[in-house]
Structure 1
Amino acid sequence: MNLEYRITAKRKIKDRLKRRLSGMYARDVGIWRFSIVALWLLSCVGVALSAMGMPTGFGVLFDVFAGLALNTIAFAVCSAAITIIISLVGLRIPRFTTGSTIYSGILACCILYDSQFGLWGAILYGTAVTVIAAGLGIAAGWIARMRRTRRVALAAIVVIVAYSTAGYPRFLLAGSGADADSAADDGKAVVQALGAQIPDPSMPGDFEFRTFTYGSGEDLHRSEFGPDAAELSSSVDASSMISDWPWLRDKFWGFDEKSLPLNGRVWMPDGEGPFPVVLMVHGNHLMEQFSDDGYGYLGELLASKGIIAISVDENFLNYSVWSGIPDQDMKLRAWLLLKHIGQLQLFNADRQSPFYGRIDFGNVALLGHSRGGQAAAMATDRERWFPNDRGLPDQASYTVRSVIGLAPTDTAIDGQWSELQDVSYLTLQGAKDADLVNFYGDRQYGRVSFVRNTQAFKASLYIEDANHSQFNTEWGESDNALPASLFIRPKELLEPEDQRQVAKTYVAAFLEATLQDDESYDSLFRDYRAGLSFLPATRYFNQFESGGFRRIADFSGQDRIRLSEGVTAEATALTDWRHTDARDRQGEGKGDTGLELEWKEKGSYTVHLRPEAIGELEDIPILMFSLANMERDLADEEPFGDELTPDEAAKLEERMEAGLSIDVEVADEAGNAARLPLSRFMETEPQVATKFTWLPGMESVLSEGKFKDIEEPVYQTYELPLERFAAENPAFDPSEWAEVTFYFNEGPGKIMLDDLGWMPE
């Protein structure tokens, strides 16, 4: 009885399951089939874009087709599995359509989450795009069932609407181009009036040059470092710094951490030499997309000017989706740069080498991009990280005279940061850098110091419409891999060639100045307007300081009255007056304390100088300081944010475009004073505001707040020759200079001031 009952029960369950499964796809007909196709296409597009951003090294076609094949299998299997579950539950809905929707939605969320969306952002946007795709499929099915005449009419309407709105994207992208041209024209007029014309340093020099490579002689992917290498270099053992070298990385490169190659691309001027040398090193990009050939435009230019340029290959230290990134990669990048110097010394002593006797190791420069920029500074400050490494070249055998950081990183390594002394430093950063959104080179700039009478100097340039990747010709125009680059797209970027024009101009001028003692470009580093005749039209901000600069106050102490020995300060009618950290887009300190001043209507700030604070002034000095216009902050903060009326807010916005109204007054010990508008020397440009995404609400979702704020305070160095004030009031005696006052004529306003001092004429 019990046996017969169990058999009957099993048969009933089996029959019930069979009946339910037999109609699994019965409802997936008509317009639902169009929805399934649309969802499959959505998943294919997402996977194809992801595959392009996750290269295997076998080529884009392989990556895309392999991804599409795997996705199609997964789409069918997973959708069918969900269909079976729905059928067993007995829900009377289009089951395979539901299964494909769930699969596509989960896939879209995973892709977006991996593309720097947060969890909730990925769920929100992933769900939205899946619903839209399914809806488009349903709409396509509905249209397909229409009569032909109605389909033609609908198509005509769609074409008319699309055509009428075709100019909208161009309208969105319009705006600052004309302003930039106007600003550039104004700047050129000012510079021409001051007689600050200089030759274009981006123009080729007089040297012929040749290009070749050196390498290990064995490279699985690049013959120029394999059998076609002109010079064979030694491999180096980095196992003391690398604890894990994945087998996939080993298989891709054909070597492990015990035999890292020393590969370099060389641009060498013709002639006996010896020539200065610059080592250029890329940053962290996808390992499978090689980066070292991306600075050929700099190598060719520098070689034509009599400087040996070498692009160092460190691709095997870069990130791979499949094998991660080596631990301590920053130390490795710096260490390998030093190893290259050692290898070049061996080449230079070898009579059979094309390098023989050609390199001047007393004139070495290091240039790095992104992580390479930090590595260049770390290699220069080598004692901090490699104090006992006897395998590195003797420090006395070479001299690094200058360091360049193109959009460099600045992370703590072993709890330390590099500090440079009596080494010239240049850093360039784009305000639309969607990879390193903060100006990290500004931090290293602050950690460069000089002793008296050194010829070294430091300079920085902040470029409104530049991004991260376009400094390297191999990295493309976007700072993010697919599919994230579809969403992170700042508007109005410089054209790639224009951005590289900025790099060529400043890198060439800087290396000619520091390695060849050419003083003709001094005005370019002190005032970017000296180069506006050959620089692309955009806004620039620059800082400059030389060994001749005499600092009066850096506002690093907590006492806002007594700034230093013999220097005191007072303020009138200010709503805020404090020494505080300059902060980046995430609200983190930039490692440099400045003076923050805020006023509602009018105000003033005065610094009193006793004779011992300045000393004997043999020449008429130049008053120098760095200032950041922070007016944009006022609309979002107390005490003004909630108090501004609509008219006041509109007035503030209008005035932000015009710049602050500030006067500067200097006075001597007898009380004779002269006052001039700051705009007579240079306008106080508002901060650069950058939006990195184009979809509503995406700024706060992506990258865990990486794009939280649209700007950060960036300093501009101002130079005010005291002779200009003496011309305004002949009674003023610059040699008895005793006071400087900043008058803020119109409010509300906010600035940050730093590095107040003077320099000989």
Structure 2
Amino acid sequence: MKKNLCGRLLEYGRACRCELKDTGWGMKLVVLVITGFFCGALATEYFGNRIYFFSGGVILSDMLLVGIVCLLSRIGDRIWHRNIGNILYGIAGALIFVCSCVYGSVGNEHMVSTFFAALIYILLLLSGRFIWAWLVKRHHTLFCGIHFAAGCVIWCVFLVFLFGQGFVDDYISKYRNHNTYVTQAGEVDGFVDYIAQGEYTPVCVTYGPDGETDMATGTVDLSPYVAKEKKWHRIYRNFFTKHTRKDAPVAGKIWYPAEAENCPVVFMAHGNHSITAESYLGYDYLGEYLASHGYVFVSVDENILNERSGENDARAVLLLENIGEILKKNKDESLPVYGKIDENHIALMGHSRGGEMIADAYLFNEYDAYPGNGMFTFDYHYSIQALIAVAPSVNQYLPAGHETELSDVDYLVLQGANDQDISVFLGNEQYENVSFSKDGAYIASSLYIAGANHGQFNTEWGGYDIGRPFSLWLNVKNFITAEDQQEILKIASLVFLDKSLKENNTYADFLTDYAKYAAYLPKTLYVQQYETSDASFITDYEEDSDLETAPGGSISAEHFTMWTEEELADSESAMGKRENHAVRLKWKDTNDAYYEIMSDGQMAMEDGGICFDAMDLREEADDEPMDFSVVLTDIHGNHAVSSVSDSVILYPAFPVKLSKIQYLTGKSEYKRQLQTVHITADQFVAEDGFNREQIKSIRFVFDRIENGAINLDNIAFVK
């Protein structure tokens, strides 16, 4: 039997060899097609998506490949007396194909991507040679016909796979179809009218130094803050713009309400993208919306700093220079924006690198000198009260080597779980670096959005978060729509800005309880974390590594299989460390596990109750939602009890697939986020005699689920 099988395999191998004899040009053609396409696609992105550059990229890359192979073949013929051309073609094509797949398979392990790319490449080469044998060499046998048909199928499947949007992700629908994971939110009076288009008529004007705008401005020298380009880079940039780092244009677009004056103003900064894209135009939907609600919205053109690195400090300076210029225009009676802006109420908003940069701009606004070189002075000191970061990067610029730490400013950050550019929630780190004194009512809030990507917040960027050819490997079919993604940003921004700049708190609890408004939000999953300036922290786990101590008290734990304090990460990958510590608890086959914080003195709970952040570390969507009891004990031994499920739904990790290769491997990247749990005083069921002014201990009792793992952090009483 074995001999029979081996003999048949040998016979099949001989037949294939005969069929593929003298079909080397078939392999060469396949390699040239693959190489030319991927190199041409790279040229497409780099040279501004112009078709003639794409065509040129294909032709030039193939000519270059043929030239190199011919040269190396001659060398090989002289040294080894063998024609190694086919081998070299195959190696070159494989390198380009595999590298594009590895770079484009965001969220996947490099070795896995390499293996699958190599496997696909080998199948394409064999299929190409079978097709060549049938069409060119005319090996029209039944055996060859079967291989020809199989080769055509393989190529068709590959092209559909490569150029299709990918696969539908089902974890969102699984959670939403699981009744216990659905927020049963009622109606909120007036909210529908509140989030609709506003009462004012939006008007837009442009400004810039080049004479084609509604308002003339100047330029600014950014050379102290951004490195000089190399000569070839300067030549490339000069092809698309006449401006340089020494005369960066102060330019952008302004939306304002026609009927209103003295309005709060929002300055929006885009992030890094192709230098040929007008990125600042991608927020017109937001400018028009906010202008209708009585805001002036300024979208700043920072394109002169795109396709650079180490330039975020320059972005911050350019933003502040734009603020100064627009505030001057606000005082000019001859201009359409005269009197439109209330200079005492300013917010900054940024996307991607712009989302990181607004924190630096806020810092620079308070300084009198540039941290990188004190010989360059600042004189801004504008009344900036609020920051909104959208899918921000972090720590690309470190002022004098320090992280950017902010205090006493309202801060909102939004991030998509399907972001394929900033694939982990880097904004968490800046969120953790916002602190409050007790001299005001401030808030830091974050919203994590399942199905949202990086680019759809900007209408110019779209659904692919990295350029071709790498984007061909991305999975984009599992996104929420661009309209839904932009709607979320519009609603969150309006509520936040009304609270921060207009002191309108009617719907400000959206920033702390999005679930109350779930009926008005696009149908996806959200994780919300927040901190307010009225919080009195019991512990945030940053003080030391002693598990049994807390500031002003002690800690104990029983019946766990794991109890430690760890630095949090946003996903399984090494990147995305939050530089934030939390306690990790794991238990198995028990309902008796508990974690208790005991005060050396006594603690008081006001009407606001208790807040803490929790992260369910389980990875199965079919599990019941994480639930446990919170027990307060006073100095007399009386108890008050509540449960997490009475306050919020805690989601397990989101199993996200960012690339098409992840669907082939069946491997997800589990995205984990802290979620704030807020239990008010009236949600506790208290025994007679319980005194909430004399609390001795807080106990977290994991009595609802027999097996689980969780992180807890930022335990505090709130007013």
Q: By the TM > 0.5 criterion, same fold?
A: yes
Q: Which of 191, 196, 210 is 2:203 aligned to?
A: 210
1:242: which partner in 2?
A: 226
Amino acid aligned to 1:739: S
Cα distance, 1:667 vs structure 2: 2.6
Percent of paired sites with the same residue: 25
2:420: which partner in 1?
A: 434
Cα distance change of structure 1 residues 105 and 142 upon mapping to structure 2, 3 Å threshold:
same
Amino acid aligned to 1:541: V
2:13: which partner in 1?
A: none
Cα distance, 1:515 vs structure 2: 1.2
Q: Which of 143, 154, 158 is 2:134 aligned to?
A: 143
Q: Which of 296, 301, 316 is 1:313 aligned to?
A: 301
1:340: which partner in 2?
A: 322
Deviation sequence 1:390-413 (CA, Å, 0-9, x none): 864441xx3111001101111151
Cα distance, 1:74 vs structure 2: 2.5
1:70: which partner in 2?
A: 60
Matches within 5 A, 1:412-561: 413=398, 414-452=400-438, 454-489=440-475, 492-558=478-544, 559-561=546-548
2:640: which partner in 1?
A: 674
1:296: which partner in 2?
A: 284
Matches within 5 A, 1:687-706: 687-695=653-661
Matched, 1:590 2:585: no
Q: Partners in 1 of 2:85 and 2:42 — Cα distance?
A: 25
Contact 1:339–1:392 at 8 Å: present in 2 too? no
Q: Which of 698, 701, 711 is 1:740 aligned to?
A: 698
Deviation sequence 1:642-696 (CA, Å, 0-9, x none): xxxxxxxxxxx476x3223412222333322233332222232112232333326
Q: Partners in 1 of 2:110 and 2:652 — Cα distance?
A: 35
Q: Partners in 1 of 2:179 and 2:505 — Cα distance?
A: 24
Q: Partners in 2 of 1:122 and 1:714 — Cα distance?
A: 26
Cα distance change of structure 1 residues 175 and 214 upon mapping to structure 2, 3 Å threshold:
same
Cα distance change of structure 1 residues 724 and 197 upon mapping to structure 2, 3 Å threshold:
farther
Cα distance, 1:749 vs structure 2: 2.2
Deviation sequence 1:466-500 (CA, Å, 0-9, x none): 12111111112011111111223366221222211
Q: Partners in 1 of 2:376 and 2:470 — Cα distance?
A: 44
Q: Partners in 2 of 1:545 and 1:123 — Cα distance?
A: 43
Cα distance change of structure 1 residues 721 and 166 upon mapping to structure 2, 3 Å threshold:
farther
Contact 1:245–1:256 at 8 Å: present in 2 too? no
Amino acid aligned to 2:132: G
Amino acid aligned to 2:521: L
Cα distance change of structure 1 residues 139 and 91 upon mapping to structure 2, 3 Å threshold:
farther
Amino acid aligned to 2:583: L
TM-score (norm 1): 0.81
- Which protein is bigger by CA-based radius of gyration? 1
Other structure's SS at 1:467 match: coil
Cα distance change of structure 1 residues 34 and 243 upon mapping to structure 2, 3 Å threshold:
closer
Other structure's SS at 1:459 match: strand
Q: Partners in 1 of 2:611 and 2:189 — Cα distance?
A: 18
Cα distance, 1:574 vs structure 2: 2.4
Cα distance, 1:131 vs structure 2: 3.3
Q: Partners in 2 of 1:347 and 1:270 — Cα distance?
A: 16
Q: Partners in 2 of 1:391 and 1:406 — Cα distance?
A: 29
Matched, 1:132 2:120: no
Amino acid aligned to 1:748: N
Q: Which of 26, 34, 40 is 2:32 aligned to?
A: 40
Q: Which of 236, 245, 252 is 1:257 aligned to?
A: 245
Other structure's SS at 2:642 match: strand
Cα distance, 1:75 vs structure 2: 4.1
Amino acid aligned to 2:467: A
Cα distance change of structure 1 residues 119 and 454 upon mapping to structure 2, 3 Å threshold:
closer
2:615: which partner in 1?
A: 628
Amino acid aligned to 1:753: L
Cα distance, 1:369 vs structure 2: 0.7
Deviation sequence 1:584-614 (CA, Å, 0-9, x none): 4444641222222222333101223466543
1:192: which partner in 2?
A: 186
Q: Partners in 2 of 1:556 and 1:174 — Cα distance?
A: 37
2:270: which partner in 1?
A: 282
Contact 2:181–2:625 at 8 Å: present in 1 too? no
1:179: which partner in 2?
A: 174
2:710: which partner in 1?
A: 751
1:104: which partner in 2?
A: 93
Other structure's SS at 1:409 match: coil
2:550: which partner in 1?
A: 563
Q: Partners in 1 of 2:637 and 2:189 — Cα distance?
A: 33
Q: Partners in 2 of 1:163 and 1:141 — Cα distance?
A: 16
Q: Partners in 1 of 2:256 and 2:180 — Cα distance?
A: 38
Q: Partners in 2 of 1:470 and 1:568 — Cα distance?
A: 47
Superposed structure 1 runs of 4+ greater than 6 Å apart: 116-123, 148-171, 696-700
RMSD: 3.7
Q: Partners in 2 of 1:731 and 1:252 — Cα distance?
A: 75
Deviation sequence 1:142-162 (CA, Å, 0-9, x none): 333254999998888899999
1:580: which partner in 2?
A: 566
Q: Partners in 2 of 1:594 and 1:584 — Cα distance?
A: 13
Contact 1:200–1:534 at 8 Å: present in 2 too? no
Cα distance, 1:278 vs structure 2: 0.4
Q: Partners in 1 of 2:190 and 2:155 — Cα distance?
A: 49
Deviation sequence 1:180-231 (CA, Å, 0-9, x none): 4336996442x329x79844654211110211110012xxxxxxxxx32111
Gaps of 5+ in 2: 1-18
Q: Partners in 2 of 1:172 and 1:254 — Cα distance?
A: 43
Cα distance change of structure 1 residues 315 and 477 upon mapping to structure 2, 3 Å threshold:
same
Gaps of 5+ in 1: 1-26, 218-226, 320-324, 633-652, 701-707
Contact 1:291–1:315 at 8 Å: present in 2 too? yes
Contact 1:78–1:99 at 8 Å: present in 2 too? no
Q: Partners in 1 of 2:387 and 2:349 — Cα distance?
A: 6
Q: Partners in 2 of 1:171 and 1:121 — Cα distance?
A: 18
Of 473-482 and 177-186, the range deviating more from structure 2: 177-186
Contact 1:184–1:537 at 8 Å: present in 2 too? no
Deviation sequence 1:346-375 (CA, Å, 0-9, x none): 212222222222211110000001110111
Cα distance change of structure 1 residues 308 and 402 upon mapping to structure 2, 3 Å threshold:
same
Cα distance change of structure 1 residues 402 and 61 upon mapping to structure 2, 3 Å threshold:
same
Other structure's SS at 2:655 match: coil
Amino acid aligned to 2:276: E
Of 465-474 and 142-151, the range deviating more from structure 2: 142-151
Cα distance change of structure 1 residues 232 and 535 upon mapping to structure 2, 3 Å threshold:
same
Other structure's SS at 1:631 match: coil
Amino acid aligned to 2:291: A
Q: Partners in 2 of 1:315 and 1:165 — Cα distance?
A: 36
Contact 1:36–1:137 at 8 Å: present in 2 too? no
Q: Which of 36, 50, 54 is 2:42 aligned to?
A: 50
Amino acid aligned to 1:687: A
1:714: which partner in 2?
A: 673
Q: Partners in 2 of 1:164 and 1:373 — Cα distance?
A: 40
Q: Partners in 1 of 2:698 and 2:408 — Cα distance?
A: 29
